[in-house]
Amino acid sequence: MYLPRSLIALLYQHLQRTHHPLSPPVLILVALEPDALCGCRILTQLLKRDYIPHKIQPVAGYGDLERAGQKVIRPMMESQGGAGGVVICLGVGGMVDLGSLLGVDSEEDETTYGGVEVWVIDARRPWNLGNVFGGIPRLPPAKDGSEIKEPGVDSGKIQRNYKPGKGGIIVFDDGDIEEDLDTERDAYLALVEMPEVDDNGDDSEGPESESDDDVDDAEPRPGQKRKSWSDRDQEGESSGDDDRPRQRRRSNSSSPIPESPSRPKQRGLMSLSGPPGLGSSTSRSVSPTPAQPPKAISARTLRRRLLKLRRKHEAVLQAYYSLGSSYCEPISSMMYSLASELGREDNDLLWMTIVGVTSMELYGRSSIGVAVSSRKPSATSSGWLGTRGSRIRQLLRDEVRRLNPPELSDSSFNANRLPENNGVIPTTARSPTDTSIRLSPEPKFLLIRHWSLYDSMLHSPYLSARLHIWSDSGRKRLHKLLAKMGVSLVQCKQSYTHMDMELKRGLRTKLLKYSDMYGLDELVPSADTDGRDRGGTKEGWGFVRSWGWRATLSAQDVGIIVGAILEVGKQAATALQTANWDRGREGKEITDEAGTLESEEWVGRFWDAYDALEKIEELKAALPTAQHLHRAILRTGTSLIEKRQIRHLRAFRMCVVKDGPDVALFTHPAALTKLALWVGEAISEQERESKGKLGHGGRGTPLVVAGLNENRGVYVVVGTGGGGGGMGFGDPVAAKERKEKREAKAKARELTKKNKEKIKEGKREARRRAAADNEEDEEDETESEDSDSSSEEEDDDEEDEASQAKGFGRNKFGNAFQLVVEETNARVRIDSFEHCVVEVKKEDLAGFLESLSMKAVVG
């Protein structure tokens, strides 16, 4: 089920009415990432104000999530002796079948979910459509045996008259379900209502008549949980040793029918002998003539049409799951919308939202997946890189103005003297009690308030890529830029807060003046260049908050520090025990005890980051950790480029981090992702300068980076890129290819139409000469099917084109990793919620990359 954006407060208001301090606590499962952590902070503040007991449980991956389901969530079910309750998943499980993973959707129980209601708020895409349009509790049948539908739910959409409390899975829609998933919804619901039909492959449909068992062995079921599986040949065995076991099958018929790869979970299916409703939705019957009674359609023809329709709907779902990974509205933004509906907005909640949204940009998370954004947001797209993302950022700026109005004592003259209104980034509070949030013209520097100007510019990914900081000539270029600005190396190498005030006042003006000479168009925001906010949007401006005289930090500073705590920890990571990798009976199974210990260590870091968001002293104490991590990124990235360790394979570029003093820092996937984004931005800029444009049709070069975890004997592999623009029709190369493809299809359709006309004429002549009625019936049915084929082909072409536009430039490494695991003997562990992250046994990396290089990772 899904909750539309307009009813975002419906479930929480019911929680307010029904819960009291003695009620079972609400369980909050939180992913180990800054956005989910900020969303958790907002949600817990709301729960505390309403005296609703709650419990927070950090979740490192799918293995942790499954264990939480077995040990914590299943005992909550009424059928297990519990009292039901609410489980809220923040950044957890939106892409997998949560019912089977958590163990709350069982065939053994007469009613499913047992009063456990699971709320899913996730920014990752694609959604698991079983959660979105299914996840409805199965109620006991009526006295006459008929199925009872959940009141208040229409085609998976929750209505205002919905009564919570019976359990189920509820996805919070940020707008993309209602706007973009109409086709997928119709296909999913049609498959759910469709009778089970055994596809034996004996029909004359050509290559499409493969049995479902063959298809099931050939490709993964879309929407199923991506497994950490290694033994795919033991289909009938229990998957208890796997980190992410196979989604179970379900059939309500007396003789189980094998399901096709993309078929969703079936409930209350009609029998094949009961055709009511089938004629309107799944077949095209021949219209009777006044002189003859209606002709009965043979069972063989009916079955063939049903299979054809089922394959068509399955293809729609398969295309959706094959688009590649992407991101939509951040979790913290959704939580702030909930607070706004409840009338609970304040500066603390707004600041958490701003930090969460900013962290999405730091990790390269956009509507094209994890990638370097090489283009400005498109005004024609409705995604996170388009109008929706721009609208959210503008709403945040408006909220800052609304909740932080100028003080009455501030005259117009004094307001114009404020540093941010004169192009200077604020570094101190206005008063000892100042805790306001301000808009600031932040340049694309890194931790500038806590570093020197030189170090801040040196470690900026934006400047590093465009000035080629990794080379001696790049360093000289940086020195030359500073010299032209009139800033001496002595001045710029001291702390920024202690620099000469006149230099700081004129810094933004000088950067605007000389940035064009070095191709640094977006180095500083250009909005409101007169220094006064006269109702301007201040597009591109950052956010700054003060804690009195104790500190003044930007949202980017906080996002970087919190991320460093999660990735590195307050102290150096302790050495883990050597992993015990065992191939198992089929030579592919992985047991990784050290991986479990590592995830437990990451959970400990979560609480440090959670506390740092509220305690400014702990946040300041973690600043050296963030600086150390970004120094390591610069050193390692420079080494990879200088030593020419970045290789260009057929479908992507790749590099391996296995030497040097900083290898241990990149055993965490998020830290390795930051390094990959740094290297990817440098490669994209090199391609732009050498070729005049980005490779791969302007979408940047896909990049795979592997980091060695020597203690565990594995490589952590991250795939980024394949995007850049991410706006289907905005790319001229792709648009030209689509136009040529459309013209070729139109010519082919015209030729096919002429050929079919000749064939039909021959059939009519043969029908006149036919003597047997059964032959006439068969030919009439064949003609009816042929007459509809052209229109169906046109519809399929339109759907394919729309699908290509949606998936243009998305990160497809998750799909490619899954295919490689199925086709090779490489020992791989897929446990991260980020599907473009895998762990590969050290000895198997070469074979894994070789097989991966043959996969399509660019849309």
In order, the DSSP letters of 23-43 are SPPEEEEEESSHHHHHHHHHH
Decide if pLDDT at 341 tops 70. yes
Distances (CA, A) of 331 to 92, 365, 561, 695: 11, 12, 19, 32
Q: Span 132-149, mean pLDDT?
A: 76
CB-CB contact of 733 with 697 (8 Å): yes
Decide if pLDDT at 538 tops 60. yes
Q: Which sign, positive or negative, has the C-alpha torsion 61, 66, 69, 70?
A: negative
Cis before 293 (ω within 30): no
Alpha helices (H) along 181-330: 182-193, 212-218, 278-281, 299-321
Residue 31 region, left (φ>0) first, then alpha (ψ -120 to 50), else beta? Answer: beta
Distance CA 701, CA 699 (A): 7
Confidence (pLDDT) at 109: 60
Confidence (pLDDT) at 110: 59
Q: Which residues contact 616 (CB under 8 A, 6 or more apart)?
A: 547, 550, 551
Q: Which residues contact 409 (CB under 8 A, 6 or more apart)?
A: none
* Of 36-40, 495-499, 761-765, minimum mean pLDDT range: 761-765
DSSP 159: P
SS3 151: coil
Tokens of residue 110, six digits:
């007469």
Q: Which residues contact 142 (CB under 8 A, 6 or more apart)?
A: 148
Q: Span 824-841, mean pLDDT?
A: 90
Confidence (pLDDT) at 595: 60
Decide if pLDDT at 280 tops 60. no
CB-CB contact of 816 with 722 (8 Å): no
SS3 656: strand
Tokens of residue 761, six digits:
């004429």
pTM of this structure: 0.79
Tokens of residue 667, six digits:
């055993």
Of 147, 42, 150, 146, the closest CA to residue 88 belongs to: 42
Distance CA 350, CA 838 (A): 34
Orientation angle between helical segments 34-49 and 331-341, nearest 10 degrees: 20
Distance CA 338, CA 330 (A): 13
Confidence (pLDDT) at 787: 46
Q: Span 554-565, mean pLDDT?
A: 95
Q: Span 789-804, mean pLDDT?
A: 49
Q: Span 296-323, mean pLDDT?
A: 88
CB-CB contact of 594 with 576 (8 Å): yes
Tokens of residue 751, six digits:
């030729």
Residue of 522 and 200 predicted with greater confidence: 522
Residue of 49 and 650 predicted with greater confidence: 49
Ramachandran angles phi, psi of 422, nearest 5°: -120, 20
Confidence (pLDDT) at 70: 92
Burial class (CB in 10 A: 0-12, 13-18, 19+), 395: middle
CB-CB contact of 705 with 675 (8 Å): yes
Distance CA 298, CA 279 (A): 13
Residue of 172 and 301 predicted with greater confidence: 172
CB-CB contact of 584 with 11 (8 Å): no
Percent of the chain with pLDDT over 90: 39
Helix (H), strand (E), coil (C) string for 77-101: CHHHCCCCEEEEEECCCCCCCHHHH
Confidence (pLDDT) at 530: 42
* Of 136-145, 451-460, 467-476, minimum mean pLDDT range: 136-145
DSSP 571: S
Half-sphere exposure of residue 4: CA atoms within 13 angstroms, side-chain side? 15
Distances (CA, A) of 10 to 2, 153, 159: 12, 14, 10
Cα of 709 vs its chain's centroid, Å: 26
Decide if pLDDT at 781 tops 50. no
Of 470, 464, 857, 514, the closest CA to residue 699 belongs to: 857
Decide if pLDDT at 404 tops 70. yes
Tokens of residue 851, six digits:
């097989």
Orientation angle between helical segments 347-362 and 387-403, nearest 10 degrees: 150
* Of 262-266, 371-375, 687-691, 821-825, minimum mean pLDDT range: 262-266
Confidence (pLDDT) at 770: 67
Return the biggest CA–CA distance within the chain.
103
Cα of 737 vs its chain's centroid, Å: 27
Q: Span 103-128, mean pLDDT?
A: 84
Counting every residue written for the chain, the total comes to 859
Confidence of residue 294 (pLDDT cuts 50, 70, 90): low
Confidence of residue 382 (pLDDT cuts 50, 70, 90): low
Distance CA 157, CA 9 (A): 15
Decide if pLDDT at 766 tops 80. no
Query: pLDDT, tens digit, for every residue of 51-76?
Result: 999 999 999 999 999 999 999 999 99
Distance CA 635, CA 627 (A): 12
CA quadruple 209, 211, 214, 220: dihedral, nearest 10: 90
Decide if pLDDT at 157 tops 90. yes
Confidence (pLDDT) at 101: 92
Per-domain boundaries in the chain: 1-174+328-344, 175-286+293-324
Confidence (pLDDT) at 249: 33
* Of 362-376, 448-462, 524-538, minimum mean pLDDT range: 524-538
Distances (CA, A) of 225 to 97, 249, 599, 699, 723: 6, 13, 20, 29, 24
Other Cβ atoms within 10 Å of 328 Cβ, number: 24
Confidence (pLDDT) at 111: 62
Distance CA 538, CA 530 (A): 11
* Of 103-112, 243-252, 775-784, minimum mean pLDDT range: 243-252
The CA angle 348-354-355, to the nearest 5 degrees, is 90
Buried b / exposed e along 196-213 (16+ C-beta atoms within 10 A): bbbbeeeeeeeeeeeebe
Confidence of residue 630 (pLDDT cuts 50, 70, 90): very high
Q: Which CATH class is domain 1-174+328-344?
A: alpha beta
Confidence of residue 809 (pLDDT cuts 50, 70, 90): low
Q: Span 595-615, mean pLDDT?
A: 85
Of 665, 647, 667, 768, the closest CA to residue 709 belongs to: 667
Residue of 327 and 749 predicted with greater confidence: 327
Decide if pLDDT at 355 tops 70. yes
Confidence of residue 278 (pLDDT cuts 50, 70, 90): very low
Decide if pLDDT at 116 tops 80. yes
Query: pLDDT, tens digit, for every residue of 642-662?
Result: 999 999 888 889 999 998 889
Bridge partner residues of 656 (DSSP): 706
Confidence (pLDDT) at 69: 93
Q: Which residues contact 668 (CB under 8 A, 6 or more apart)?
A: 566, 567, 568, 602, 716
Distance CA 722, CA 679 (A): 14
Query: pLDDT, tens digit, for every residue of 672-685?
Result: 999 999 999 888 88
Confidence of residue 314 (pLDDT cuts 50, 70, 90): very high
Distance CA 452, CA 454 (A): 5
Decide if pLDDT at 513 tops 90. no
Percent of the chain with pLDDT over 70: 71
Mean pLDDT computed over every residue of the chain: 77
Burial class (CB in 10 A: 0-12, 13-18, 19+), 271: exposed
CB-CB contact of 738 with 807 (8 Å): no
Distance CA 395, CA 332 (A): 14
Confidence (pLDDT) at 803: 46
Confidence (pLDDT) at 247: 34
Helix (H), strand (E), coil (C) string for 397-466: HHHHHHHCCCCCCCCHHHHHCCHHHHCCCCCCCCCCCCCCEEEECCCCCCCHHHCEHHHHHHCCHHHHHH
Decide if pLDDT at 566 tops 90. yes
Q: Span 81-98, mean pLDDT?
A: 92
Confidence (pLDDT) at 232: 36
Element (H, E) at 843: none
Highest mean pLDDT among 437-451, 561-575, 761-775: 437-451
Distances (CA, A) of 620 to 449, 604, 605, 623: 12, 19, 16, 5
Residue of 232 and 737 predicted with greater confidence: 737
Distance CA 765, CA 503 (A): 92
Confidence (pLDDT) at 218: 35
Confidence (pLDDT) at 199: 67
Burial class (CB in 10 A: 0-12, 13-18, 19+), 755: exposed
Residue of 362 and 220 predicted with greater confidence: 362
Confidence (pLDDT) at 286: 40
